[in-house]
A and B are shown apart, each in its own frame.
Chain A
Amino acid sequence: MGSSVQKAIELILSADPELLNILSVTARVCLTSSVFALLIGVPLGILLGAERFPGRKVLLVLNRTLTGMPPVVCGLLFYMLFSGVGPFRHLHLLFTVKLMIIAQVVLITPIVIGLMETFVADTSPVLRETARGLGFSRAKEYGLLMNECLYSVFSAYLLAFARAIAEVGAVSMVGGAIAWKTNVMTTAIMMYTNRGSFTLGIALGLILLTLSLLVNIILSVMQGRLSR
């Protein structure tokens, strides 16, 4: 492990242009996909949690199933759909960062929905009673709920981001790990492992974990401020 740590430091210090490219593609893919997943997942999760309507239970079960979808299955599905012979071939999206983001959004959104639903289903009955007692309008009621949710939105984002940055199955299938274009940290680690450069793989893994740690520290500090 010692040599891997050393290698990781050397890698960063060398400021290798390919490594920098991998880092920037990684950042682009996992930040965009986690934000999109948040934008789609939070409203849906709040709706599922706060409202009672026929079919809600079915949707919940479906969502929980999607939460457990193996990334590689998701990747394979998108590969087939956007392949040169697939139904969406005219969009020319295979092996692009865009499709990697779309695949990740599909993977991550169910997690955000599930998390928000759990939280809202727990808090909304009490909150609703209070709001009704105060004579709030429905819009205001949701405003209040949103305000209460902010803390768990952070948690949901952290989870979404973690899933996005750690994921390899889907991005390697739809991205193709093309150098300078769609190669991200996880696919690069796969590549080095296949070549037998285990130490280099671990070094990249350490960099990945460090970045993840930084992001988590910043978000957690912000989340802490919020709760005060």
Chain B
Amino acid sequence: MKKIVSLILALVMVFALAACGQSAAPKAAETPAPAADAAPAEEAAPAEETAPAEEADAMVVDTCILKEADDAMINNYSLLAVNPEAPFVDADGNAVEDVAVNTVGAAALINWLLSEEGQNLAANFGFEEYGEYLFYLKDERPISTAEIPAATEETKKIRLSTTTSVNDSGLLGFLLPIFEEKYGYDVEVYSAGTGKSIANAKMGNADLILVHSKKQEEAFIEEGFSCVIDGMDTERLNWMYNYFVLCGPSADPAGVKDAADVKAAFKAIADGKYTFISRGDGSGTHTKELSLWPEDLGITAEAESFKDYTEWYISANTGMGACLVMAEEMGAYILTDKATFLTFVANDGVMG
């Protein structure tokens, strides 16, 4: 047994060395760039999702923005508190009464995000670094002046189920530490596509959600899963937005650029059967894309609905970054949020 114990100790040491020893290692001082590039997630990701990699040879990105700033392309972000009295059901459909939801914590985080401080921080996020605002505040946004209680033992842990874009863009990584520091909360971020985030909340695993798909949010409220927090007049607290953009090969064979509006552009792609990459993962971006196709095509989230279009309609079922790489490889059209696309272009060759 002694041997096994000493063995385990040796293993622990290896890991400790690997994990800690490196901080003592000399940093690549003469080249400041690598350290900055190499830092994962929060630093390296200026925009919606971190920079997608291209081939090592850093070929020039051909995909470009063809259609933007169309009213149909607005990307609204909303906060919804989870209702502790919601009709939760277990896997067999039986009602579950005593689901633990930290409503106090959720309200605290919402009130802070909607306070003047939180809103200003979010609105200015990214400008200093990238010379471009990544998120804009709605004109008619809810504003909170409520006092935020300090965390207690019971309310300390806040489970936030969110869409990947606000997390990968670094927005949450920038905002949450300020909030945590000030009030003593501990926010755990579960980041997935909007569909999965909402499903996670319905399973009683979140105290609040931050998502960007009006349809799915309204269904969530309709089913009674959200509640109005004190001082607000509605469940769906829509306070920020940015834009989706339609991208594609610079040659633009479908003539999307000259289309009257974005719906006409989608029609042109469908009519010409030009390759289109769909997220296909129930995310907010996917939901938005589904609403832009001509209705007679009948494209929905169901695989059945696009089985006749598989030669040009590609349901990738993966993250935004991976989809952009795919679109670039295939010279395809794609709907993406603008910030992710800007990072994709800006980091081309650097991340690779």
Contact = CB atoms under 8 A, between A and B. Distances in A.
Q: Do A and B originate from a single complex? A: yes
Interface string B184-225: 000011110000000000011110000000000000000000
B32 to A, nearest CB: 11
Interface stretch (A49-57, A86-94, A132-140): A86-94
Interface string A64-77: 00000000000000
Given A23-B19, A85-B90, A197 B12 contact: no
B320 interface: yes
A1 to B, nearest CB: 8
Instruction: Point out which of A2, A15, A84 has the most chain B C-beta atoms below 10 A from its C-beta.
Output: A84
Nearest to B91: A80
A188 interface: yes
Given A2-B56, A13-B35, A195-B319, A188 B40 contact: yes
B297 interface: no
B40 A193 contact: no
Given A12-B22, A179-B41, A211-B15, A196 B90 contact: no
Contact of A31 (B8, B204, B318): B8
A30 to B, nearest CB: 9
Interface stretch (B105-113, B266-274, B322-330): B322-330
A178 interface: yes
B20 interface: yes
Contacts of B3: 150, 222, 226
Contact of B325 (A24, A83, A188, A196): A196
A35 interface: yes
A19 B40 contact: yes
Contacts of B321: 194-197
A20 interface: yes
Interface string A1-28: 0110001001111111011100110010
B164 A194 contact: yes
A87 B88 CA distance: 13
Given A95-B205, A196-B321, A199-B53, A89 B28 contact: no
Contacts of A10: 28, 34-35, 37-38
Contacts, number: 174
B52 interface: yes
Interface in B57-99: 88-91, 96, 98-99
A24 B53 contact: no
B119 interface: no
Interface string B11-41: 1101110111011011110000011011111
B344 interface: yes
Contact of B12 (A16, A31, A196): A31
Given A14-B27, A85-B90, A218-B11, A7 B100 contact: no
A84 B205 contact: yes
B265 interface: no
B337 interface: no
A176 interface: yes
Nearest to B323: A196
B204 A18 contact: no
B30 to A, nearest CB: 12
B243 to A, nearest CB: 20
Contacts of A35: 8
B231 interface: no
B18 A23 contact: yes
Contacts of B100: 84, 89-90, 92
A198 B99 contact: no
Contacts of A48: none
A20 B24 CA distance: 13
A150 B322 CA distance: 46
Nearest to A210: B18
Contact of B22 (A13, A181, A192, A226): A13
A16 B173 CA distance: 15
Given A16-B38, A80-B91, 19 more contacts: A10-B28, A13-B25, A13-B34, A15-B27, A23-B15, A23-B18, A27-B16, A83-B203, A84-B101, A86-B91, A177-B191, A178-B190, A188-B40, A192-B50, A193-B322, A200-B50, A218-B7, A218-B14, A219-B7
State the 7 A-B residue pairs at the shortest beta-carbon distance, nearest first.
A84-B204, A196-B321, A196-B52, A194-B319, A195-B321, A27-B15, A10-B38
14 contacts: A3-B56, A10-B28, A12-B22, A15-B23, A83-B203, A89-B100, A95-B159, A95-B190, A194-B164, A195-B45, A195-B50, A195-B51, A195-B168, A215-B14
Interface of A: 2-3, 7, 10-16, 18-20, 23-24, 27, 31, 35, 79-80, 83-87, 89-90, 92, 94-95, 150, 153, 176-179, 181, 188, 192-200, 211, 214-215, 218-219, 222, 226
